[in-house]
């Protein structure tokens, strides 16, 4: 009896201390945030850490990237945090369903990488064709439905991850250096090439090829004129009719299978898919190309319906996200994080050197689950952060002529 009483009191004391130390949200009971986004960013590790550190429960709702837009536009009450890509904003912001985030409540807002705030890296301008994040980063007022041209107090999204995409190749099957996007349509790879069947991204990869072939120089690959769309689709259609493509892919796993099974040897690809192919023991390289990369970026947005404790919790979560742990977590998977200084503090020196500085790995590089991803001595595809993000040519985009483009893309599939 006596003993249990003591334990009980000690337990109570500990509980009270924890209550004092924890943020206000926890004292009033746990808050759950409904988090809508693509499954790619919904990591279990982040969810657990957030619960530990903040007492906030993330309720992941995984949807396809098309559905992220559809949800944001048609069901703004169905989420508390939107994990959206920047190109989607051109569709979402005019609907008025997202609210500008107050820069004064984001602690590290001045630490955000200049890729987002000014469209530059290391003082150098990067390629801004397409829906570059810096073009859609700010709103003139909190409830504005169009974008501001200069930095303001109201942010559309707080960046989470971004990366630069290129072609994946099978070096063992190709056996020679690949240096240009033009190789995608090289008849040498007839029946062994693939492109992704997501019109808005597929056409930009095609545009990289058309430009590399020297057939046309686009003013903006992410915002083509009708004539440019016609030209690009004509080049693709000719290649399709000549049997250049083995298949088109629509989701991550399809792209992994095509490459791993030897159906294709060169195709548009996403960085984690290349890692997945390699983890099957199949050689695969995410090949940097001289024309540059097609980049993408994602971030958190808040619905206008969010108020009170949930709104506070959402800001707490976003501030936590930028504070280092999550950044290091993402950097270790080959993505880039929005605030580099805090992420660096959470990474080992050799990890930082490998992932961010493009140096040979001083020791084995391990995935978050402890498996070895790269042996000591390996060098990351595309080199350092600055080399890679500095070579971005264009960004995933929504064109003004989007309707026309989708119609032409359907025509291409039917050709």
Binding stretches for another protein (CB under 8 A): 64, 66-67, 69-70, 73, 90-92, 94-95, 191, 197, 199, 240, 245-250, 254, 257, 261-263, 398, 402-403, 406-407, 409-411, 413-415
Q: In angstroms, what is the minimal distance from the CB of 263 to another protein?
A: 6
Q: Which CA distances in Å does 332 have to 83, 201, 337, 343?
A: 20, 25, 10, 10
Task: Closer to another protein by CB, 171 or 383: give it.
Answer: 171
Q: In angstroms, what is the minimal distance from the CB of 79 to another protein?
A: 17
Q: In angstroms, what is the minimal distance from the CB of 220 to another protein?
A: 17
Q: In angstroms, what is the minimal distance from the CB of 192 to another protein?
A: 9
Task: Closer to another protein by CB, 34 or 91: give it.
Answer: 91
Task: Closer to another protein by CB, 103 or 406: give it.
Answer: 406
Task: Closer to another protein by CB, 41 or 65: give it.
Answer: 65
Q: Please give the structure tokens belonging to residue 279.
A: 């983890």
Q: In angstroms, what is the minimal distance from the CB of 151 to another protein?
A: 25
Asked if residues 57 and 51 have their Cβ atoms less than 8 Å apart, the reply is yes
Task: Closer to another protein by CB, 46 or 284: give it.
Answer: 284
Q: In angstroms, what is the minimal distance from the CB of 232 to another protein?
A: 16
Give the whole-angstrom CA distance, residue 281 versus residue 289.
Answer: 24
Give the whole-angstrom CA distance, residue 220 versus residue 400.
Answer: 11
Nearest CA among 414, 364, 357, 413 for reference residue 380: 357
Q: Please give the structure tokens belonging to residue 366.
A: 């391990």
Q: Please give the structure tokens belonging to residue 333.
A: 């998977």
Q: Which CA distances in Å does 304 have to 90, 310, 387, 401?
A: 17, 12, 38, 28
- Bridge-partner residues for 120, per DSSP? 125
Q: In angstroms, what is the minimal distance from the CB of 81 to another protein?
A: 20
Give the whole-angstrom CA distance, residue 94 versus residue 90.
Answer: 7
Q: In angstroms, what is the minimal distance from the CB of 162 to another protein?
A: 23
Q: In angstroms, what is the minimal distance from the CB of 258 to another protein?
A: 9
Task: Closer to another protein by CB, 190 or 278: give it.
Answer: 190
Task: Closer to another protein by CB, 94 or 187: give it.
Answer: 94
Task: Closer to another protein by CB, 245 or 317: give it.
Answer: 245
Q: In angstroms, what is the minimal distance from the CB of 115 to another protein?
A: 25
Q: In angstroms, what is the minimal distance from the CB of 243 to another protein?
A: 8
Give the whole-angstrom CA distance, residue 247 versus residue 233.
Answer: 17
414: left (phi over 0), alpha (psi -120 to 50) or beta: alpha
Task: Closer to another protein by CB, 194 or 346: give it.
Answer: 194
73 alpha carbon, distance to own chain's centre: 20
Task: Closer to another protein by CB, 249 or 352: give it.
Answer: 249
- Bridge-partner residues for 193, per DSSP? 245, 266
Task: Closer to another protein by CB, 276 or 393: give it.
Answer: 276
């Amino acid at each position: 009896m006596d003993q249990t009483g003591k334990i009980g009191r000690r337990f109570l004391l500990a509980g009270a201390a924890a209550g004092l130390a924890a943020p206000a949200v926890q004292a009033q009971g746990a808050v759950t945030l409904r988090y809508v986004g693509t499954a790619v960013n919904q990591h279990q590790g982040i969810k657990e850490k957030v619960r530990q550190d903040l007492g906030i429960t993330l309720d992941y709702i995984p949807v396809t990237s098309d559905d992220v837009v559809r949800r944001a536009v048609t069901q703004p009450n169905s989420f508390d945090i939107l994990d959206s890509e920047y190109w989607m904003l051109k569709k979402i912001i005019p609907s008025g369903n997202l609210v500008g985030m107050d820069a004064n409540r984001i602690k590290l807002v001045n630490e955000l990488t200049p890729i987002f705030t000014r469209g530059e890296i290391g003082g150098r301008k990067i390629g801004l064709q397409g829906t570059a994040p810096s073009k859609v980063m700010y709103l003139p007022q909190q409830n504005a439905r169009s974008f501001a041209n200069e930095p303001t107090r109201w942010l559309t999204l707080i960046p989470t991850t971004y990366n630069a995409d290129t072609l994946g190749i099978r070096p063992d099957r190709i056996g020679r250096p690949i240096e240009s996007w033009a190789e995608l349509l090289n008849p040498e790879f007839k029946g062994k090439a693939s492109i992704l069947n997501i019109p808005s991204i597929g056409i930009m990869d095609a545009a990289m090829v058309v430009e590399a072939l020297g057939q046309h120089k686009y003013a903006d690959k992410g915002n083509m004129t009708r004539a440019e769309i016609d030209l690009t689709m004509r080049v693709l259609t000719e290649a399709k009719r000549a049997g250049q493509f083995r298949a088109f892919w629509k989701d991550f796993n399809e792209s992994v299978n095509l490459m791993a099974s030897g159906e294709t040897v060169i195709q548009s690809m996403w960085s984690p898919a290349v890692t997945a192919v390699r983890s099957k023991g199949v050689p695969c390289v995410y090949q940097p190309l001289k024309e540059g990369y097609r980049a993408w970026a994602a971030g958190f947005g808040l619905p206008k319906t969010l108020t009170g404790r949930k709104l506070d919790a959402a800001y707490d979560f976003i501030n936590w996200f930028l504070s280092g742990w999550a950044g290091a977590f993402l950097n270790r998977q080959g993505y880039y994080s929005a605030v580099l200084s805090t992420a660096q503090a959470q990474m080992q020196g050799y990890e930082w050197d490998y992932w961010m500085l493009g140096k040979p790995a001083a020791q084995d590089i391990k995935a978050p689950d402890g498996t070895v991803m790269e042996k000591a001595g390996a060098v990351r595809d595309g080199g350092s952060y600055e080399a890679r993000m500095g070579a971005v040519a264009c960004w995933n985009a929504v064109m003004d002529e989007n309707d026309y483009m989708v119609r032409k893309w359907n025509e291409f599939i039917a050709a």
